[in-house]
Structure formats: structure tokens, C-alpha cells
Amino acid sequence: MDKIVYIDRATGEHKEELVPGGGFLKFLYGSTVGKLSLNTLVKRKLFSIMGGAYMNSKASAKKIAPFIAKHSMDMSDYIVPEEGFSCFNDFFYRKIDASKRPIGEGVVSPADGKILVFDTIAASKEFFIKGSLFNLTSFLADEKLAKKYEGGAMCIVRLAPVDYHRFHFPAEGKAGKMVRIKGDYYSVSPLALRKSLEIFCQNKREYCIQETKDYGDILICDVGATLTGSIIQTYTEEAHQPKGGDRGFFAFGGSTTVLLFEQGKIKFSKDLITNTQAGLETTIKMGETIAQ
């Protein structure tokens, strides 16, 4: 499997991602024995529940300092309790200093991570190795809703374990009820996604629709993954939400948020389009403009 190279949006530099557990992921998705393990154990809910239980234990707190050091994390962006974090998950879904994430114009990123953007959902076929067309009906488990976003635009924000794991609203508007779809717990690392985009249609996922004045109805979907113990929604349903307002957070594990836009409602930022067309993700911060 290829290494993961991405574009740093701030500098334009090509960088290589250090993937926690990358060797294990290569084993799972790149070997016959690994694929057998993947389908018999790793994708199962119990595997992620067990991992989540450990990350909620006091014993996991000892993992925090080595993790910060290994990934050279700048903790000045975050709110650190005086008594320290009680467990790894407490650190994982840490809160951020709002001044560190100013909210930009237009549609903004709902999370920190690495982003891919597609002017049409069909365009995603060119990015992924298997060339599988993203199946909206399978993804949403709703044929009528799938037709609403057919021909529309899509962005994928991938959160690695080192990222800030709270997610927010990309625009201002009324946010509807949360719809939950049961599924498995495959990894959403590029090492896995490059093999098949179908993972998004197989994993546990939750979505709501935000009604906006300028950008139509934005469908916001959070996707679980291996060792993601929980997706926690904290927003008030059927209420008006500010752009950049809190929606919720992921417990431990790499995770993803997908945004779907109705046809003709938005235009993605040029640099994000160019990088995606080159087959590369771009670093993104919550609150940065991604579309107008």
C-alpha cells in the first residue's frame, strides 16, 4: 500500500501522514489473512466497544503524554483541565479555545482533519482505486432522499486520531432530527478507503439536514470507524444553529464527516478542487471556508 501524502493548506507543501496503527491497517487491508481477521473480528461492534472501554478507563491516561510527544501536538489550542485529562477519551474529545478557530465566510469545514471535495458525487469515482460510484441510496438508506442529492456536490472530512474530534455546523440554519443507520466498524483511513468507498455505506452512521438560506439543505453525516466507541450528538434538534456551532463529538478512533449539497447550491474553493483532482487530501481546520 502507498504512503499517505497530503497537502498542507497553509503552506502548500506535500507532507506524509504518520498513521497510528498504520502497519496493522496494511496487514488488515493488504493481505489474505488480514482480510479474514477484518471480516471476522475487527469490523464487529464488540471490538470497538472493548477498545472504547479501555480508552474510558483511568489506566488509559498514561497513554496521553507519549501520544502528544510522538505526534508533536501543540496543546496550546485546547482547553486542558487543571487536574489533567482523566482518561484518553477525555483528551481525545478535548474542547478547543474558540479564538483558535475563527469562523470564515461561506460554508465552513465542520471539523479539523483532511478534506476531499467533489463538484458532483459522480466525480468521486476518479479518486478511488476501485472506481466504485458512491451509492447514495445505500449510504442514506433512503431512496427518496438519495434522489434529492443526486447530481449534487460532496465533501469528505477525515479525522485522524491526532485531530480535534469535536464537530460543528458548516453554516447557519435550522438543524433537523438525527437519523441513525446501523452498520459495521471498518477503518476509514485512506489505507482502507482507497480500496473501496463502499465502507461509507457499510459503517455505522448518523445524519441530520440543516436548512440554510443561501446553500440549500445541507446533509451532514458522521461516520463511525474501527475503535470509534461512540458518536455523541449534543445539539438541540429542530432548532436554529449558528455557523460553527457545536454539534457533538467522536469518542476514540479515526472518523469521518460527509457533507452533501443539492445540485447547483455551492462552489468549492479552488485549491481544494485542484488538490482533490490531483488525488490528494488537504489539511483543513474547523471554521475554514470550503465553499461559497
Q: Would you please indicate which residues are annotated as catalytic (active-site) residues?
A: 112, 168, 255
Strand, coil or helix: 283:
strand
Separation of alpha carbons 245 and 223, rounded Å: 19
Nearest CA among 116, 57, 43 for reference residue 92: 57
Nearest CA among 65, 193, 77, 46 for reference residue 132: 193
| Contact between 266 and 119 (Cβ < 8 Å) | no
Query: C-alpha grid cell for residue 183?
Result: 452498520
Q: Which sign does the torsion angle of CA 138, 143, 146, 151 carry?
A: positive
List, in order, residues 6 or more apart from 170 with CB less than 8 Å away: 107, 108, 109, 110, 210, 218, 220, 243, 259, 290
Separation of alpha carbons 114 and 254, rounded Å: 12
Pairing of strands 179-181, 246-250: unpaired
Residue type, 38: L
Burial state string for 92-106 with b = 16 or more CB within 10 A and e = fewer than 16: bbbebeeeebebbeb
Strand, coil or helix: 285:
coil
- The helix (H) or strand (E) run that includes residue 158 is strand 153-159
| Contact between 114 and 158 (Cβ < 8 Å) | yes
- The helix (H) or strand (E) run that includes residue 255 is strand 255-261
